[in-house]
A and B are shown apart, each in its own frame.
Chain A
Amino acid sequence: DAGVIQSPRHEVTEMGQEVTLRCKPISGHNSLFWYRQTMMRGLELLIYFNNNVPIDDSGMPEDRFSAKMPNASFSTLKIQPSEPRDSAVYFCASRSGTGISGNTIYFGEGSWLTVV
């Protein structure tokens, strides 16, 4: 398996610009998670999808953040407009099954975002 694939791996952007992070989950997985990791706040769950449907987006910081999953093999996390405090590592993760399935959750390598 190719694993969870994220792009870009690194992005440096100017404040106010739109940022789009992309994720391809493992084929056959029907749950997808977006996390943000910072030194101060640790690993925070932003949103997760089951069968392409957003289940819980209570972790999305504010309206500047949006996530979509148009099909089972692709998801995006968009920040518009970006701010310096959005600088973090953004992880995408996926697993088979929904709910408390007990199946392993696999993480991508992360997208390192720096907003200057």
Chain B
Amino acid sequence: NAGVTQTPKFRILKIGQSMTLQCAQDMNHNYMYWYRQDPGMGLKLIYYSVGAGITDKGEVPNGYNVSRSTTEDFPLRLELAAPSQTSVYFCASSLGEASQHFGDGTRLSIL
């Protein structure tokens, strides 16, 4: 099993550009999450989903959008990239409220 797969691993964007960070899991987990990690700040929850068609905001949702059309995929979209969105983004999944499994992250720089 691949677990949680995130693509791309690295990306540089210009201010104002848009992009989608992809996340896929093959464990048939119903819960999926997006976090951002900034140095010395731990992880902050951006959005989460408890199943296909259901999404909800986390602690820091501004500037991001998500969708969950299938159990496997949970893409994160940045519409108008800003320097404050430079971060490492982690996707995670879990079976209900059990332990979360994390992807290896997407390192995003916005210049």
Bound pair (A, B):
no
